[in-house]
Structure 1
Amino acid sequence: MACRRASKALGAVLALWAGAALGGPPERVVSINLCTDQLAMLLAKPGQLVSISRISQDPNVSVMLEEARKYPINHGQAEEVFRLNPDLVLAGQFTSSYTVGLLRRLGVEVAQLPIVTSLDQIPGAIREVGRLLGRAAQAETLATEFSADLAALRANPSNRPRAALHYANNYTSGDKSLANDILTAAGFANVALEAGLSGGGTLPMERLLMLMPDLIISGQHYPGASRSEAVLTHPAMNALRDRHAGSALSDAEWVCGTPAVLRAISRLQEAYE
C-alpha cells in the first residue's frame, strides 16, 4: 500500500515536471504594472490572471477601470506577491529592482516589459504578453486588429496643425515618445520638436507662448492641491486657449502602449474639427 502511494506521488511529481518542461502556459499570473495589467486583462484566459496592480483601479490613470474592478489588487510588494503563489509575474521596465530581484531569488519567474515609445511597438508588446500567457492566437488577432484600425485612423494632411502637450510643471513630450507618435498619427505637428525636445522634458511657459501652437492639449487635474498644476490654468495659458483651440484629454489613454491609444487619436482629430 505504501509503495503504491509513493508510486502515485512520484507519478504526480513527474507529471508536473513534464508539464513545466514542455513550457505549458502559466496558470497563476500576477501583474504589478499598470501597462501589463491592461494587456493581461485583454489577453488572459478566465481565471489565469489572479491579481493586478493597485493603480489599475485609479480612475485618473486607468483606461480599463470597470474591468480592473473585477480583480484583486496588489501593491507591488515582493512579499505580498509571493504569497499569491504566482508562476509568472508581469512587470515593467522600471518596476522596483528590489521587488523583481527578491521574487526571482525566491524562484518566481518575472517578465519585465519595456516601455512602449512608438505606435509601431504596440503590436509587438501585445504579441509578447500573449506569448508569455500562452495566448498567442488571441494576441495575434488583437495585434492585427490594432494595426488595421491604426492604419484607418492615421492622418497625413498636407498642412499639419501645430499642437502642444502641456502638463503639470510645464512637462511635455518631444520626439521618441508615444505621445508624439499619437499626435503625429492624428495629423498634428508637435511644437516640442521645434524646441528641440527629445523624449520627455519641461518646456518653459514663455517659450510655449512664443511658439503659438494651434492646439493646446492640457493634462487633467488630479485630486488634492499641487502647485505644479497651477501652470495649467495660468492667465497666460488661458489667454492662449482663448485665441487658439484648447482641449483637455484623459491622461489614461496616453499612458500605456495598448489599443486604448486609438481612442486618444480619434479624440484629437475630433477636437480640431
Structure 2
Amino acid sequence: MTPPSSKIALVTGGSRGLGKNMALSLARQGTDVILTYHSKQDEAAATVAEITALGRKAAALQLNTAAVKSFEAFYTQVSAALRDTFGAEGFDFLINNAGTGVHAPFAETQEADFDELFNIHFKGVFFLTQKALPLLRDGGRIINISSGLARFSNPGYSAYASMKGAVEVFTRYLAKELGGRGIAANVVAPGAIETDFGGGAVRDNPQVNAYLAGATALGRVGLPDDIGGVVAFLCTEEARWINGQRLEVSGGMNL
C-alpha cells in the first residue's frame, strides 16, 4: 500500500467545541483527521467539510466513548476508513477529548452521574487507548485532555476532577510503557473555556464569566482557539521530546 501523504489524527468528540478546534488546528498544520461524534451527525459532517476545505482528508465516525464493548467494532470502522479515505493502515495521533460535565456538590452527587463520568472520562479513555495500539503507529503521540480542576478545587466538581486526576496518572504510565515504540503521551489541561460544555455557563453566564476571568492572570476566560493549537503543537516534530507531561492551558488560573 502506498504510504499516506500526511500524518493522521483520531480526535474523539471532534465535531464541536474544543474537539472541533483541535481537529481544525491539526488540519491547518497538514494533518488528516478522523473525528468522532456521539449523536450530532450534522455537526460532524460540517466539521469534515471544513477540514476538506483546508485541503486535508477527513472522516467522521459515531462513537459513544462510555460504551467500552463497542470499541472493537469501532476500530474495525477506523481500519476501513483508513483504507478507503486515507489509503493508510494506521494513524499517528490519538487525542482523547470526548467528555461531558456534571456539576453537583459532593454530598449530592448521584451514583449514576459518577458512573457516567467514570465511563466516559477514565474507563473509556483507558480502553479506547488500549484498543488503539495495533493501529497507532510507532513514533506516534497520545494526548489526553484533563482540566485545571485536577490542580485547583472548585466546589461541585469532585467526581469530574477525580476522573481527570486519574487520566493524568494514566498518561504517565502510557509514556513509560509505550516509550519503547517511540510513542509519547501527554496531558493538555484547559482552564475555563467559553463553549457549550456543562451547559455553557462559562460562555453564557456573565457573573460566572467575570468571576473566572478575575481568577485568571491574563484577565479573561479561555476560548477554543486558545486550546486547539496547543494540542496540534504536541503533534509536531518540534514537540518530540515532550513526554509524560501535564501542560495546563488556563491563562494562569488560581496561581
Which structure ranks higher in relative contact order (CA pairs < 8 Å, sequence separation ≥ 6)? Answer: 2
Q: TM class by shorter-chain length? A: 0.3 to 0.5
Larger radius of gyration, structure 1 or 2? 1
TM-score (norm. length: structure 2): 0.33
TM-score normalised over the length of structure 1: 0.32
